[in-house]
Structure 1
Amino acid sequence: MDVNAAVAAVAGTAGLCTGVIAMLAFRWSERELKKATRASVRPESNAGLPGGVDTVLSVLSSSAVVLDESDGVVKASSAAYALGLVRGGRLAVDAMLQMARDTRRDGEIRQVELELPRRGTGRGDALAVSARVAPLGSRLVLLLVEDLTESRRIEAVRRDFVANVSHELKTPTGALSLLSEAVLEASDDREAVERFAGRMQIEATRLTNLVQELIDLSRVQNDDPLEDAEAVRVDELVAEAIDRCRQPAGSKEITMASGGTHDLSVWGNRGQLAAALGNLVENAVNYSPARTRVGIAVRRVTGQGRPLIELAVTDQGIGISEKDRDRVFERFYRVDPARSRATGGTGLGLAIVKHVAASHGGEVTVWSSEGQGSTFTLRLPETGTVRDRTSAGGPLLVNGDDEGPFATATFEPFPAPEALP
C-alpha cells in the first residue's frame, strides 16, 4: 500500500513538471512568434541611423528613403509610401535602386528626373519626379524624391497660354498689316479704300476685344473679388446684360427676355459679376440663329447646405456636342473656330465666367443638345433678405421692352428636369 502511494506521488510530480515545462515552452514560442510578426510587418528600423537624421527626415517635404548595404529600407517617410516608392520593405523603383547601388559603390551624388506610373488610380497619366541620391555615412544611402507633377502641369498651361495668345494676336495684327498695304496701293480708288478701311476697323475691334479680355482674365485670376465686395442686385445684373447685347440681338431679330424671382442679391464684385453674366448672354446671342429667343431666368435654390442664386441663360442655338462640353470653359477653346472668328469671339469669355464663379464661391455648368440649344447656369451664394415674387407653378412671366424684338413674352428658359446637368 505504501509502495503504491509512493509510485502515484512520483507519477503526479512528474506530470506536474511536464505540464509546467510545456506551458513555459508554449509561452516562449508565442513570444518569439510575436517578435517575428512585428519584424515582418515593420521592415524598416532606425538602427544605425546617424544622430539627428531621423528628426531631419521627418520634417522634409520631399519623399525620403534610407537604404542599407543590402538595399533594405532602414527609414522611409510617409510621402514615400504614398508615392508608391516603397513596398514590402524594399525600394520599388528599379531606376532609383540602381542609382543607390552606384552611389554606394563610388560615393558620388546622382540626380535624375523620371516618370512613374500612378498605381491603383486607373489614370493613364504619370507622375513626374526628381530623384537625388547621396551617401549617408559609410554604409547607408539617402534617396530624396520631389514630386514635380503639379509644377509641370502649371508650366504646360503657361506655355499653351503664351502660344495661344501669340497666335490670336498674330491673326488681327497680320490682317491689319496686309490691309494697310492694300489701302496704300489703292489710294486712288475711293471704293476700294472704303472697303479695306472697313475691314481694318473690324480687325482693330477684334484686336481690342482680345486685349481687353486678356486684361479681364488676368484681373479675375489675380484679384480677390471679396476685398471690394458689396451686395449686388441680380435684377440690375440682368438688365445690364440685356442692354449690353441689345444691338446685336436686334440686328438678328432675337427676342430677349428675363424672368423668375425678383429682388435677389449676391455678394461680390459688381464689375466681375456683370462681366460673367454679360459673357453668357453675349455667347447666347452670337451662337443663336435669327428670329429665335434668348432668356435669362433667376431663382433661389439650395446647394451644399446654403441658399444660392441661380441664373440660367438659355438659347435656341446650334448647341454643343458631348465631346466639347467638358472643354468649353478652357481658355481659347472654340467649339466652332470658323464661327467664332466670324462673330469676333476670342475663346476667353467662358474662361472668365468660370474664374468669376469660382472666386465668388459658386460654379457654372452647361446643359446642351445639338440643334436644340444650350443652357448655361451660373450659381452664386445669396446675400441679404429677399422676397420671392414668383407664383407657384406655371411658366415664368418675363418682362422685356414694350416693342420690337424685346417685347413682353411668356418664356420657360429652364429645360425639363431630366435634361438638367
Structure 2
Amino acid sequence: MDPLLIAALSGAVGLAIGVVGMHAFRVSERQRAAGIDVDEPTMPEGATEVLASLGLAYIVVDTVDGVVRANPAAYAFGLVRGHTVVHQEVLGLTARVRSDGVIIDQQLELTRGLQGETTMVVHLRVAPLGDEYILVLADDRTEVSRTEAVRNDFVANVSHELKTPVGAISLLAETIEDAADDPDAVARFSQRLHKEANRLAVLVQDIIELSRVQGKNVVHAGKPVDLNYVIAEAVDRSRLPAESKGIELRVGGKLPRRVHGDSDQLTMAFRNLIDNAVRYSPDNTRVGIGLTSRDGIAQVTITDQGIGIAPENQERIFERFYRVDAARSRQTGGTGLGLSIVKHVITNHGGEVALWSQPGRGSTFTVRLPELEEGLDSLTGLGEDPVDLTAHLNTDDLTEDTQSARRSAGEGGNA
C-alpha cells in the first residue's frame, strides 16, 4: 500500500481518537460537577433572627472578607458596596479578630458618600460568628458625638465668659476696699462694679433663655400668635436704650394673619434683633422694622444704619458666643448669645432668619414665618392635628424679598 495513503489514514484515526477522548473527558467533568453539592454560605442557627432584632447595621464576612450577609442599614451607612466592605479600617478589625479571636469594640470616624464627601462616627463591635465568619455590628454615633462636642464647647465658652466678669467684680471689690479713704475712687470703681454685675446678670439670663427655648416643643405647646402685637411689644421693650442713643425705631406695614408659636419666645427673638440693631448703630440714626406678607409667609425685617458685617463673618454670626469684635461687644454689653437664641427660636417655629449686610452700609435681618391658613388662625390650640409649620415656606425668593422689604422698611436706610 502506498506509504502516503497509510500516513493519511493514521492521521485521520488519531484525530478521531483525540476528538472522542476530549468529548469523553468533558462529559466526565460535567458528570462529576453535577455530583458535587456546593453549599451556600450558612450562619449558625438563629443568628439571622437575632441580628434582625438588634436594630443595628450589621455585616457578616467570610474567610476572605467577602460579604455574606448585610442588612439595608449597612448599605445606607455606606459600609458595604455590592459584596465588598468599603472601609479598610473595618477590614483591619476583621483581620485582627480572625487572627486572635478576640472581640473588638472601637469607635471610628469613617468617610461616607460615593466620593467620601461626608463623615460619620460609628461604634463598631467585631466578633467571630461560628467557625468561618466574622460579624461586624455598627451603631451610628454621629449625632451623639456632635451633641457631646457642642455641649463641651458650650460649657467651655460659658466658663470663659463667666470668668471675665466674676474676676473683674472680685478685683473691683478689692480696689474699692483699698480706696476706702478716697470717695471719688470709690464712686468710680463702684460704677464699674455695677457695670460688670449687670453684664454678668445679662449673660446668665441669656443662658437661661437659651436653655428654655431649647427645651420647649413649640409645635405642640404653641397657639396662634399675632406678630403685630409681638413686634409692638419688642419695640416697646427696646425703646429706652434706643432713646438713650437718639435712635428712632420706625415700624411700617401690618401682617394680616397670625402664625403658630409661642408669643413670649417670638417677642424675645425680635427684641434681641432690635436690641442688636440699636447696640451697633451710631447715635441719632434710625432702625426700621418692616412687616410684609406674601404667599402665606409673614416676613419681618430689621434694618439698621450701623457698621455692617464683613462677608467672612456673616456665616458664623448665629453661632453661640461668636462675636465679630469681642472688644466692641464688651463695650456694648453683648454676650454673643442673642443671635443664637434668635436662630433657635425661629427654627423651632418652622421659619428662617437670614442676614444681608455690607461694611459701612448697615445690616438687615429678615425673619420669615409660615402664616396660619384661613380658618385656622382663630384656633386656640392645635389639638391632635398640628399644623405643618414648614408646608408653605419657600426659600427660592428670599433674596428678592429681603431687598424689597429692606427698601420699604428702611425708608432712607442704607440698602
Normalised to the residue count of structure 1, the TM-score between the two structures is 0.77
Identify the residue that residue 111 of structure 1 maps to in structure 2. 105
1:61 to 2:50 alignment: no
* 1:78 pairs with 2:72: yes
Instruction: Name the aligned partner's letter for residue 300 of structure 2.
Output: L
Structure 2 equivalent of residue 41 of structure 1: none
Give the AA of the match of 1:101: A
What does residue range 9-408 of structure 1 map to in structure 2 within 5 Å? Answer: 47-121=41-115, 123=117, 126-262=119-255, 264-302=257-295, 307-383=296-372
- CA apart distance, 1:122: 5.9
For the residues of structure 2 that align with 1:152 and 1:263, how far apart are their CA atoms?
Answer: 44
* 2:36 aligned partner: none
Question: CA shift at 1:397, angstroms?
Answer: 8.4
**2: distance between equivalents of 1:46 and 1:301?**
63
CA distance in 2, matches of 1:58, 1:210: 49
Query: Aligned partners of 1:183 and 1:233: how far apart in 2?
Result: 50
SS of equivalent residue, structure 2 residue 218? coil
Matched to 1:363, the amino acid is E
Q: How far does residue 81 in structure 1 lie from its aligned partner after superposition? A: 2.1
Partners of 1:226 and 1:63 lie apart in 2 by 32
Q: Name the CA shift for 1:193/1:366 in 2 (closer, same or farther; >3 Å).
A: same
Deviations 1:390-415 (A, max 9, x none): xxx999988xxxxxxxxxxx826695
Compute the displacement of 1:273 (Å): 0.9
Aligned to 2:387: none
Query: How many angstroms does 1:108 deviate by?
Result: 1.8
Shift of 1:171: 0.8
In the alignment, which residue of structure 1 is the partner of 2:411?
Answer: 411
1:264 CA displacement: 4.4
Match of 2:22 in 1: none
What is the distance in 1 between the residues matched to 2:278 and 2:291?
18
Cα gap change, 1:228/1:72 in structure 2, threshold over 3 Å: closer, same or farther?
closer
TM-score, normalization by structure 2? 0.78
Cα deviations by residue, 1:194-220 (Å, 9 ceiling, x for unpaired): 001100110111111111111111000
How many residues align? The count is 352
Shift of 1:119: 3.7
Contact 2:301 2:405 in 1 (8 A): no
- AA in 2 matched with 1:107: G
1:251 shift after superposition: 2.1
User: Structure 1 pair 170/116, CA: closer, same or farther in 2 (3 Å)?
Assistant: same
Q: Name the CA distance, whole Å, in 2 between partners of 1:227 and 1:94.
A: 46
Q: 1:227: how far off?
A: 4.6
Q: Do the aligned residues in 1 keep the contact of 2:109 with 2:119 (CA within 8 Å)?
A: yes
Q: Check 1:67–1:180 CA distance in 2 against 1; reply closer, same or farther (3 A cut).
A: same
- Work out the CA distance in 1 between the residues paired with 2:109 and 2:405: 58
The Cα shift of 1:272 comes to 0.7
Q: CA deviation at 1:111?
A: 2.1
State the alpha-carbon separation in 2 of the partners of residues 219 and 204 from structure 1. 22
Residues of 1 paired with 2:371 and 2:81: CA distance? Answer: 50
Q: Deviations over 1:343-391 (max 9, x none)?
A: 10111111111111111121111111111011111112224679xxxxx
Residue 380 to residue 252, structure 1, CA distance change in 2 (3 Å)? same
For 1:7, the equivalent position in structure 2 comes to none
Alpha-carbon distance between aligned partners in 1 of 2:138 and 2:217, rounded to the nearest angstrom: 34
For residues 305-349 of structure 1, what are the alpha-carbon distances to aligned partners after superposition, in whole Å with 9 as ceiling and x for unaligned? xx1211100001111111111111111111111111111011111
Distance 2:87 2:224 in 1: 55
Q: How far apart in 2 are the matches of 1:269 and 1:92? A: 47
Q: Secondary structure in 2 aligned to 1:311?
A: strand
